[in-house]
Amino acid sequence: MAVRYCVLALLACLVVGGARAALPTLAKPGGPSIIEGLGDIAKLDQTTDFATVLAVGYVIGGASNFTFYNPDTMQTTVQTGKFKSWQCADANGTFNAIVELTTLTNGTQTAKTVCMFGEVYIIQQQFSWVQSETACPTQLPIDGYYTNTLYSLPQGATFECGDGGGDGEMSSSTDVGGPSPGMSTTSMTTDSFGVPPTSF
């Protein structure tokens, strides 16, 4: 009886709350060590092929701190993150991570927990990612993902989940990771890609 009550109550919650599921705790503590160090966050405009750097910062000891700059308002936004858990995802070079994010912009602080999906390109010293508050993404969309350049990646670094397949060239303004040619990018339905899209 109690079990049945709980199930019914849960269903009611899901209907009322818009089906917000709790994010899982993943297999390993913290975050992947390959993303540690100084870095930036860039976004590629698929139409113009122009990459814009949105933020600079670092990940140290599973804690991130990135400062975004909005040239229109000349305001900065600081987003800090705590990597809670992570694990390799299915495809070579990919991972999921649960991250607690705190965003401070113009004196207002907001917090959220996301599941990040990242694909690492070791030769390019980059990884591309999306994130969602409601589920763990399983692949990158064709558009709308972010790419971090990993400035502190040591030479000969390896990633325990493999390599997403870099093209062998160093990073440049038109080379910001993303889905490899031929990769299926269907069924991407996350509602929250990284930083607030309206302010950046």
- Asked if 110 is part of the footprint of ligand NAG (rule: CB under 6 A), the reply reads no
Tokens in use for 8?
Answer: 């019914």
Identify which of 45, 97, 92, 52 has the alpha carbon closest to the alpha carbon of residue 71. Answer: 52
Judged by beta carbon, residue 67 or residue 138, the one nearer ligand NAG is 67
Is 80 near ligand NAG (CB under 6 A)? yes
CB 65 → ligand NAG: shortest distance, Å? 4
Is 121:166 a contact under the CB 8 Å cutoff?
yes
How many C-beta atoms lie closer than 10 Å to residue 88's C-beta?
18
Contact of 34 with 152, CB cutoff 8 Å: no
- Does position 92 interact with ligand NAG (CB under 6 A)? The reply is yes
Task: Please tell me whether residue 180 binds ligand NAG under the rule CB under 6 A.
Answer: no
Identify the CA nearest to 157 among candidates 31, 36, 26, 28.
Answer: 36
Tokens of 166: 């870099």
Q: Minimal distance in Å, beta carbon 71 to ligand NAG?
A: 13
Min dist CB 28 to ligand NAG, Å, is 19
x/- contact string, 9-48, with ligand NAG (CB under 6 A)?
Answer: ----------------------------------------
Among 162, 179, 183, 196, binds ligand NAG (CB under 6 A): 162
Determine how many CB atoms are found less than 10 A away from the CB of residue 47.
Answer: 7
